[in-house]
Amino acid sequence: MESNLGKWEGLTFDEIREQFPQAMKRWVKSPMTFNAPAGEKLKSLQKRVRRFLKRIGSDNHSGKTVIVVTHSGPIRVILGEAKGRGLNDFWTTEPKTGCCLSVNFTAEAQRKR
């Protein structure tokens, strides 16, 4: 799972900064109100992540370990959901490439979302 970055798809952050400098600044400053050109809004990513978390938090996975491999955007959203902060802390975590994070969710907690 990853966010749809529209015209930024396939570009590195350096390439985005070079080709879309003003848009990049706006996105970093206000990710909840500004999205990449032709890209997905952060709220849309959050909705998809929440649906995914409900699915893996279902009774079918109760008491089981589920491994999720994803990108930094969804990781930030997952951590915000785990902390009960939603998107408020989106930029406070910078997952490193290849990092491993452990997050515990219960099926009951996911049904409440």
Q: How do residues 59-112 score in pLDDT, each as one tens digit?
A: 677 777 888 888 889 999 999 988 888 888 888 888 888 888 888 876 555 555
- Cβ neighbours of 44 (radius 10 Å): 13
What is the domain count for the chain?
1
Q: Would the pTM of this model clear 0.85, i.e. be above it?
A: no
- Cβ neighbours of 107 (radius 10 Å): 15
Q: Does any domain span residue 43?
A: yes
Q: Does any domain span residue 11?
A: yes
Q: Does any domain span residue 89?
A: yes
Q: What is the CATH number of the domain that holds 68?
A: 3.40.50.1240
List phi, psi (to 5°) of 107: -60, -40
Q: How far is CA 15 from the centre of its chain?
A: 21
Q: Does any domain span residue 1?
A: no
- Domain of residue 94 covers 6-111
pLDDT for res 108? 54
Q: For 23-51, how does the pLDDT look when each residue is reduced to its tens digit (9 = 90+)?
A: 999 988 888 888 899 999 999 999 999 99
